[in-house]
């Protein structure tokens, strides 16, 4: 991050505010638990201190409190020490941000460290999902490390906060919702509330990671398409840790069912699709100028994601209770047919929404980039030629050219052509976003990108001539 860059400094402070709101949401849940009606005088002040509560939630509680303390000290030092103030260096702000975020990762780290076989089992399918999310950006692709960072957010702090909040809810909700002599009614009320609580809390935790990525790495993102990819990566990370937890607690055929539903037929649905919808809203908001319009779009995206999540929780809980009796199917038919059908009916609309939003975003990108590429070709800089424009804006043509070169010129020439095309699309995307007012104009960055293209083009020409292939 460049020092003394007021735009980047403001973005970093906004990220700190997002992380503070995310971590600070733990405090109201603790207060509600603290004020809950007590069944007896022997009940602990906080349910986390009950002798029946596992050790890990208690450790997570103290980690969050320590994170708040360290973040407060770092914030105070940032304000008091001139060298750490905004505009000088981001060390203080990054310390606050990192401390607040990583203090939430105790439980997911424990889940991964104690269930290595299950972790290894879900790696291949999750990696395939991440590859698909990366490839869905057909014109401008963010750096792979940015998607991996979004994945890590979902797998660590997002699910860490959500797990802590869900645990607190299940501890204090019975005390508030109880009704004398009606345990079944209490059970239904608690778990109905848990379905909505989980939907809204988990989507908020995942969305915070997408918002931070869009704020900090704005020059690498391109609106709604980037938001969808980031949201999908966060959802895959969340699903990764949750799958490990469910697989480790299941045995026999139940473990196979969990892997089938979470890591196979439902991999790109559920958490992945929910957070992709929210990511679309956040990505679209990043393109807008009006604050009110941004708030409206983000709110719509959040409600769509959280509402779909809550509805899915309710329907799958209902189907798990009466589905077998209602349909009359055996375990094999239920696993192979009925459960996937329910998943399609419940989560299919959300997946379809993501597909339509992605299609719209890609079309918008293609139209904007095409105009910029034509202007760049007419400029005579040599970075783009008129012949290359139709090929650059149609992914199928780019793919066919690459395959042809791989067969005729070999791997090195193929890589050189891919490098040139990626640099050309990066330049075009930057110019398009600048022309739309979505990122500030940066002539120095454009010059740097043009120099990169010309250098790669020279390398490409050398490799193609070496194998007897001419032309651009």
In the numeric block, which tokens belong to residue 231? 């949201």
Residue 3's pLDDT is: 45
Region 340-365 average pLDDT = 93
Does residue 53 have a pLDDT over 60? yes
pLDDT band at 1 (very low <50, low <70, confident <90, very high): very low
What is the Cα–Cα distance from 310 to 395, expressed in whole angstroms? 37
Q: Token pair 């869905």 is at which residue? A: 136
Higher pLDDT, 470 or 210: 210
Q: Is 292 exposed, middle or buried (0-12, 13-18, 19+ CB in 10 A)?
A: exposed
Per residue in 192-220, pLDDT tens? 899 999 999 999 999 999 999 998 888 88
CB neighbour list of residue 279: distance below 8 Å, 6 or more residues apart = 207, 210, 227, 228, 229, 230, 231, 232, 234, 301
Q: How many CB atoms lie within 10 A of CB 89?
A: 16
For 185, the token pair is 């009614």
Q: How far apart are CA 44 and CA 53, in angstroms?
A: 11
**Residue 201 class from Cβ within 10 Å (0-12 exposed, 13-18 middle, 19+ buried)?**
buried
Q: Does the pLDDT of residue 88 top 60, yes or no?
A: no
In the structure encoding, which two tokens stand for residue 461, read together? 């020409």
Q: What angle do CA 47, 101, 285 make, to 5 degrees?
A: 115
pLDDT band, very low/low/confident/very high, at 2 (cuts 50, 70, 90): very low
**Listed residue (386, 367, 388, 361) closest to 435, CA to CA:** 367
pLDDT at 323 over 70: no
Residue listed under structure tokens 């990583």? 102
CB 223 within 8 A of CB 110: no
Token pair listed for 292: 């009110």
∠ CA 427-433-437 to the nearest 5 degrees? 140
Terminal C-alpha separation, the chain: 36
417 pLDDT above the threshold of 80: yes
> What SS3 state is found at 468?
coil
Query: 277: which residues sit within 8 A by CB, 6+ positions away?
Result: 231, 301, 304, 305, 308, 350, 353, 354, 357
- How many angstroms separate the CA atoms of 204 and 197, rounded? 11
> Six-digit token pair at 117?
């076989």
Assign 387 a pLDDT band (cuts: 50, 70, 90).
confident
Q: How far apart are CA 100 and CA 158, in angstroms?
A: 12
- CB count, 10 Å around CB of 459? 16
Q: Which tens digit of pLDDT belongs to each residue from 261-302? A: 999 999 999 999 999 999 999 999 988 877 778 889 999 999
CA distance 397 to 417: 13
pLDDT of residue 6: 63
The predicted structure's pLDDT at residue 43: 82
- In this structure, are residues 267 and 261 in contact, taking their beta carbons and an 8 Å threshold? no
């Amino acid at each position: 991050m460049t020092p003394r860059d007021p735009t980047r400094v403001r973005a970093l402070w906004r990220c700190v505010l997002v992380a503070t709101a995310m971590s600070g949401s733990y405090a109201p849940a603790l207060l509600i638990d603290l004020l809950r009606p007590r069944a007896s005088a022997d009940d602990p002040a906080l349910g986390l201190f009950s002798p029946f509560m596992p050790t890990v939630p208690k450790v997570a509680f103290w980690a969050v409190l320590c994170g708040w303390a360290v973040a407060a000290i770092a914030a105070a030092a940032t304000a008091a020490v001139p060298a750490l103030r905004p505009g000088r260096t981001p060390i203080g702000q990054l310390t606050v941000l990192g401390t607040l975020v990583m203090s939430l990762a105790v439980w997911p780290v424990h889940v991964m460290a104690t269930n290595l076989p299950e972790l290894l089992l879900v790696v291949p399918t999750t990696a395939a999902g991440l590859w698909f999310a990366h490839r869905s950006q057909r014109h401008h692709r963010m750096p792979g490390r940015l998607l991996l960072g979004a994945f890590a957010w979902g797998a660590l702090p997002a699910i860490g906060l959500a797990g802590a909040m869900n645990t607190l809810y299940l501890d204090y909700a019975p005390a508030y919702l109880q009704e004398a002599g009606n345990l079944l009614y209490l059970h239904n009320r608690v778990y109905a509330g848990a379905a909505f609580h989980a939907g809204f809390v988990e989507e908020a935790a995942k969305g915070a990671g997408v918002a931070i990525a869009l704020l900090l790495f704005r020059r690498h993102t391109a609106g709604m398409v980037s938001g969808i990819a980031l949201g999908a990566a966060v959802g895959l990370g969340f699903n990764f840790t949750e799958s490990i937890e469910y697989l480790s607690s299941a045995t026999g055929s139940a473990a196979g069912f969990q892997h089938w539903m979470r890591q196979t037929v439902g991999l790109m649905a559920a958490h992945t699709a929910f957070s992709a919808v929210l990511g679309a809203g956040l990505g679209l908001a990043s393109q807008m100028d009006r604050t009110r319009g941004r708030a409206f779009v983000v709110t719509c995206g959040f409600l769509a994601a959280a509402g779909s999540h809550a509805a899915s929780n309710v329907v799958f809980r209902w189907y798990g209770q009466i589905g077998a009796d209602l349909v009359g199917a055996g375990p094999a038919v239920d696993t192979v047919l009925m459960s996937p059908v329910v998943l399609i009916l419940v989560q299919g609309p959300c997946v379809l929404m993501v597909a339509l939003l992605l299609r719209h975003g890609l079309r918008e990108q293609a139209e904007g980039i095409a105009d910029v590429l034509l202007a760049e070709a007419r400029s005579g800089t040599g970075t783009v030629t008129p012949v290359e424009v139709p090929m650059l804006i149609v992914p199928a043509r780019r793919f066919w050219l690459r395959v042809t070169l791989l067969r005729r010129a070999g791997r090195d020439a193929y890589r050189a052509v891919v490098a040139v095309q990626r640099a050309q699309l990066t330049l075009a995307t930057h110019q398009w976003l600048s022309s739309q007012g979505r990122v500030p104009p940066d002539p120095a960055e454009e010059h740097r990108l043009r120099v990169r293209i010309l250098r790669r083009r020279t390398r490409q020409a050398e490799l193609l001539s070496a194998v007897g292939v001419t032309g651009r």
